[in-house]
Structures are given as C-alpha cells and as structure tokens.
Amino acid sequence: MPPSFFQDFLSPQNLRVSSGSGLALRQQYEPWGILETPTPPLLLNTGCGGSSNNFDPFLLLGSQQFPSAASQGPTSVTSTDPPTRVVGTTAANFQPITNQVPPIARPYRPAHAPQPSALRPHCTAAQRLLLWKPAGSIIDQVELEQRIEWVLTHAWASSTRETYGSGILAFHVFCDRYAIPETQRAPASTEIVMSFVATLAGFYAGSTIRNYYSAVRAWHILHRFPWTPDQTALDAILKGSHALAPPSSSRPPRKPVSITALLAIRESLDLSDGRDAAIWACAVCLFYGIARCGELTTPTLTSFSPQKHVRIQNVSLQTDRNGLQVTAIFIPVTKSAPTGEEIFFARQLDLSDPETALRHHFTINNPSDSEHLFAHTFKKTRRPLSKSVFLKRLQAFAHLLDPSATTFTGHSFRIGGTLEYLLRSIPFDVVKTMGRWASNAFQTYLRKHAQILAPYLQGTPAYGNFLHIAMPPVRG
C-alpha cells in the first residue's frame, strides 16, 4: 500500500481536471486498486507492431475490464483497406523505400485496446506519434507529411518512434480508463500527467516510465499543443517512479563477449557454410568495431533497404600517413546519426581477425552491391543477415559468456569490444570515440574495473604524464 499522502493526492477530491468545469477524472477513482495485484510486470505484445519483434511494454490495466470501451464497440479495429505508409514528398534528401514490406498493424489485445476513435486510427506503434491526433489539432495531413520527413527522420529514430507509440497507447488507455475527455488530453494538465506516471509507478522500470512521459510530451510538440505541466513536480514524481521500480523490471547486466569466447564460437561454426561464414564475419566486425548489433544486421529477412543498411560498397580500406591500415564500414543510418557514421577496426594477429573473416565471407557468399553486406544463400535463397537469425544461431553458445546464461544478446559484442580495448590500455577517450559515444555512458559497460584500472593504481603509474589524458574527468 502506498504512503497515505499518495492516497490523499490521488483521491477524487484532489485529482481534478484543470478546467473550468472542475470535473473529477472519475466518479469512483481507484488508482491503487489496479496496482495491488500479484501479477508481475510483463512485456506484453499488444499486436500493434510492424514486426514480430515489436513489443509494447504496457501498463497492467489489462487485468481490469474497460466498460466504456466494451459498450462502444469492438476491442480490435480491422480494415479491408491495404496497409499504407506515411511517406512525405518534399524533402530533397528523403527517398521513399519501395522494396520493403509495408508495416502491418495487427489487432489490439482485448484488454489493451483504446476506445475506438477517429482521432486514433489503427496503425503500427511507430506511426502513432504522427497519426494519433489530439482533439482540435490544427495541422493538416499535407503539413504532417512535410514534418514527418524533417522531424521524424532527423529527430527520432525508428526504435524511438516505436517506444513512443507504446507510450501514447498507454496514455490513451489510461485516459479511457478514467474517462478523461479528449479535449483535456491535450494540452494535458500537470495533474493528468502526474496521475499517468503514478499509475505506472511500481510496475515498470523508471526508464520505461520516463520514455512514456517523453512520448506524451513529443506528441504535444508534434501536433503544436503547448506543454505546460509543472516541470519541477514532474521531475519529482519521475524520480519517485525510479525508486519504486520492482526488481523484475530491470534485466541483469548483459555479459560481454571475450576473445576466448569468440574463438570458441569460431570453432563451433561451419565456416564452409554460407550462413555461418556471414555470421562469423558479422560477429567479429561487431566486436572490433564496437558496433550495435542492429547496425550490421537487418530487422527482418524482408526489411533490407539499400538506403539504410550496410552493403559491400560501404566497406573501405584506409591508410594513415605512417602506412597503418584500418578497415572502415560506413553505416548509412544509425540511431544517433541519421546521416550515417563509420566504424573502424584493424587487422588482428589471431583467428578472430575481422579482415580475414570478411574476405572469407566475400569468397564464400560473394554479396553484390545491391545486397546486404552479410547476404548469403540459405536453402537456395539469397537472404540478408537479420538480427534474429544472427542471435538464434549464437544462442547455443550463450554458456561461453556465463555458465548460467540462457540468452545471447547482440549488445554483448559492443560491451566485449569496449572491454577488450580498455584492457589493452587504449585510452578511455579513444575507446569513447571508437564507440561513437557522445557522453561517458560507455563507462556503464566496465564490468572489469580492477583489471582496466590496474595500470593507473600502481605506486609508479605505468603511463606517467599520460594518465590525465587517458582517464575521463572525475565528476563530483
């Protein structure tokens, strides 16, 4: 049971819509009743994503029935029209992708369906930020198509739009549950936004709740509604939601891949097989390039796009003035750089050498300029290397990271590469640059602090005056 002051704050007398009518959010408001459930937090697939891996982390209002939604119509929205994509036509540097399968919005799960509304057409999670309109929206569709080109392709990555779509869905189901009128959902008052956060608190990680809050704010901004909630109050309740996050909402630290594990994986793969050769080449490029798994793989087998994914023409050999060579792979689009960025690595002296792995992959699979960099033939069909195929093949080797591990995450390569370079005494700032971090967030990957810091802790520091360059600044 939450503290009494929370109960008082969320009481019908205090929780009011900030409007002239002073209408209570609900005649019988029972915010903590829906939280007092033994059901653990889950990642629930609402069936609204564009792919089989698109999950909507969702508030646990699903255990309750929504009488208002049930009385107004079916809980899933279907259409006989073919699925459509929102594609703008004005930005000079925007090219619609024509060879991709359009995302399909699957039916909502009954317990997680918003009330049917013309303001909220059935669409994929990534499309909700744009297509779900507040009541009284002043932006017409033509202007929205122009804004989607500039704002959504430059401000929010696709994965961010999907996360925000989940947050917007959660917000509207919350509003439906407590009968908040459409006109009071945007602009949303401080009380409504705080109540939304408070309803999620105790069930989800603080970062998830903050993402959902950010989704509501982004929805306001995109549709030109003022964002006026009291930021000081919101910061306080968001901080409280972090403190209330249940242990099950946080996944354990992902284990890093080591060179020893890499070599063991290599011995277990059949490098004469096209798919295994592509997987091995991708794995060592991820490791030594400190890359994200999604940067060198495709989301699905049918989602390869030459404009977004790596191809053989994106690989180059670069030489400095001292004759030292590195291999560079230009990634056309990344989460933090919509215009693309490069990863680099050099030749290694053991069997984990990424340059040798790439050459072997090119010899076995011979990807063309129009194919994915790690394209290969499987069951007589040419395929890109999708993230799910890559991880599923490596699943059998999870025990190499940790004897108790049952899953193999793509991020383990990025973590492992970071640790390997640091253990080689590469300066922190250099590793930060290689991993393309804009902040010191990469320090959260340092699972082996003692080994990494050992040279700097000796009575006679191993690097003398270079110490202040290699170490990141100490923050109070």
What is d(CA 24, CA 263) in angstroms, rounded to the nearest whole number? 64
Nearest to 57 by CA among 193, 206, 190: 206
Predicted confidence (pLDDT) at residue 114 exceeds the cutoff of 70: yes
Tell me the two tokens of residue 41.
Answer: 């937090």
Least confident of 49-53, 120-124, 298-302: 49-53
Least confident of 56-60, 176-180, 237-241, 399-403: 56-60
CATH 3.30.360.10 fits 259-470, yes or no: no
Predicted confidence (pLDDT) at residue 447 exceeds the cutoff of 60: yes
Q: What is the pLDDT of residue 457?
A: 73
What is d(CA 342, CA 423) in angstroms, rounded to the nearest whole number? 23
Tell me the two tokens of residue 11.
Answer: 């009481």
* Top-confidence range, 1-5, 97-101, 140-144, 231-235: 231-235
> Which residues, in sequence order, are CB contacts of 327 under 8 Å at separation 6+?
315, 316, 317, 318, 344, 345, 346, 347, 354, 355, 358
Query: Among residues of the chain, what percentage have pLDDT more than 70?
Result: 67
The three-class DSSP label of residue 208 is: helix
Q: What is the pLDDT of residue 104?
A: 80
Q: What is the pLDDT of residue 175?
A: 95
pLDDT band for 354, please (50, 70, 90 cuts).
very high
> Which residues, in sequence order, are CB contacts of 248 under 8 Å at separation 6+?
40, 41
Tell me the two tokens of residue 441.
Answer: 């967030």
pLDDT greater at residue 98 or residue 140:
140
What is d(CA 459, CA 371) in angstroms, rounded to the nearest whole number? 55
Predicted confidence (pLDDT) at residue 252 exceeds the cutoff of 90: no
Q: What is the average pLDDT score of the chain?
A: 75
Least confident of 123-137, 183-197, 344-358: 123-137
pLDDT band for 223, please (50, 70, 90 cuts).
confident
Predicted confidence (pLDDT) at residue 240 exceeds the cutoff of 90: yes
Predicted confidence (pLDDT) at residue 1 exceeds the cutoff of 50: no
What is d(CA 46, CA 378) in angstroms, rounded to the nearest whole number? 32
| Backbone phi, psi, residue 175, to 5° | -65, -40
Taking a C-beta distance cutoff of 8 angstroms, is the pair 356, 271 a contact? no
> Span 28-51, mean pLDDT?
33
Place of tokens 């908040």: 180
The string of pLDDT tens digits covering residues 258-291 is 899 999 999 999 999 999 999 999 999 999 999 9
Q: What is the pLDDT of residue 146?
A: 64
CA distances from 265 to 71, 378, 459 (A): 56, 20, 39
Q: What is the pLDDT of residue 22?
A: 31
What is d(CA 389, CA 167) in angstroms, rounded to the nearest whole number? 29
pLDDT band for 315, please (50, 70, 90 cuts).
very high
Q: What is the pLDDT of residue 251?
A: 73
For residue 24, what is the DSSP state? B
Predicted confidence (pLDDT) at residue 68 exceeds the cutoff of 70: no
Q: Please give the single-letter amino acid code of residue 389.
A: V
Query: Among residues of the chain, what percentage have pLDDT more than 90?
Result: 43
Least confident of 104-118, 166-180, 409-423: 104-118
Predicted confidence (pLDDT) at residue 399 exceeds the cutoff of 90: no
Q: What is the pLDDT of residue 57?
A: 36
Where are the domain boundaries for CATH 1.10.443.10 in the chain? Answer: 259-470
For residue 443, what is the DSSP state? G
The pTM of this model reads 0.63
What is d(CA 208, CA 249) in angstroms, rounded to the nearest whole number? 9
Q: What is the pLDDT of residue 145?
A: 61
